[in-house]
């Protein structure tokens, strides 16, 4: 883990900038709950010796164990909401970043000058730190939501689709924090879902036959 963190720090240092910002999100693929976008500004002019050692443990939040980390979307669309939040964060950073890194996405011309890094949470310390902040914040929010909506199991799956989550939605219907713009089978009756599954299987089986004819 420490070796991974050192690799992330090295990636940022090679940019030659003192203030390096990273942004990332959590919750983009979940069926329920918020999209959380975080930004982290690292001052490499101050990160020396003992101050940088804790960052040597950085890793992408999806690779950290749970012990290591603690209806705008429906209206605007998930991707547009994500990009808008990242642009807002980069504009709000103080002092302004000399290098802005974004995990995977170009944010458009209205954003500060930035660099999209594919798999950035596995390469950059700033993006990895933002990834962890976003995920920890979202996980804590979803545990609070579990107390408000105790029948869906949010504390375990934090809003992502699982068989148990889908079964709870079919039985009780979606809560007010479920994303109704998602075309999830669990929003349908079992009969309607079976029809869609059958249509998908038929379409998949018809593709090779059409290609060979």
The DSSP annotation for 172-193 comes to: H---TTB-TTS--GGGS-HHHH
* Per-residue confidence (pLDDT) for residue 53, from 0 to 100: 56
* Per-residue confidence (pLDDT) for residue 148, from 0 to 100: 95
DSSP string, 49-99: GGGTGGGGG---GGGS-TTT---HHHHH-HHHHHHHHHHHHHHH-SSPPSE
Q: Is 197 exposed, middle or buried (0-12, 13-18, 19+ CB in 10 A)?
A: exposed
* Per-residue confidence (pLDDT) for residue 47, from 0 to 100: 74
* Per-residue confidence (pLDDT) for residue 69, from 0 to 100: 46
| Domains in the chain: boundaries | 2-149
| Sheet of 99-103, strands arranged across | 36-43, 19-26, 99-103, 115-117
Digits of tens for pLDDT over the chain (213 positions)?
A: 455 778 888 899 999 999 999 999 999 989 999 999 999 999 988 876 545 555 655 665 555 554 454 455 666 777 888 899 999 999 999 899 999 999 988 999 999 999 999 999 999 999 999 999 999 999 999 999 999 999 999 999 999 999 999 999 999 999 999 998 888 888 887 777 777 877 878 787 765 554 544
* Per-residue confidence (pLDDT) for residue 116, from 0 to 100: 95
* Per-residue confidence (pLDDT) for residue 180, from 0 to 100: 86
DSSP state of 112: P
**What CATH number is given for 2-149 in this structure?**
3.30.420.10
* Per-residue confidence (pLDDT) for residue 182, from 0 to 100: 84
* Per-residue confidence (pLDDT) for residue 198, from 0 to 100: 79
Tell me the backbone φ, ψ of residue 122, rounded to 5 degrees.
Answer: -105, 0
């Amino acid at each position: 883990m420490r070796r991974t963190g050192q690799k992330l720090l090295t990636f940022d240092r090679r940019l030659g900038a003192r203030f390096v910002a990273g942004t990332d999100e959590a919750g983009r693929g979940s069926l329920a709950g918020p999209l959380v976008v975080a930004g982290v500004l690292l001052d490499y002019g101050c990160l020396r010796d003992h101050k940088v050692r804790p960052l040597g443990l950085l890793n992408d939040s999806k690779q950290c164990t749970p012990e290591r980390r603690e209806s705008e979307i429906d209206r605007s669309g998930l991707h547009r909401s994500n990009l808008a939040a990242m642009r807002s964060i980069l504009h709000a950073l103080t002092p302004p970043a000399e290098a802005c890194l974004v995990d995977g996405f170009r944010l458009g011309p209205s954003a500060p000058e930035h660099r999209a890094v594919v798999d950035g949470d596995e390469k950059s310390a700033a993006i990895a730190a933002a990834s962890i902040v976003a995920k920890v914040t979202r996980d804590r929010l979803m545990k609070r939501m579990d107390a408000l909506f105790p029948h869906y199991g949010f504390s375990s799956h934090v809003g992502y689709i699982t068989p148990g989550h889908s079964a709870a939605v079919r039985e009780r219907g979606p809560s007010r924090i479920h994303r109704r713009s998602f075309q999830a089978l669990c929003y349908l009756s079992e009969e309607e879902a079976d029809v869609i599954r059958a249509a998908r299987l038929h379409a998949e089986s018809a593709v090779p036959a059409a290609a060979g004819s």
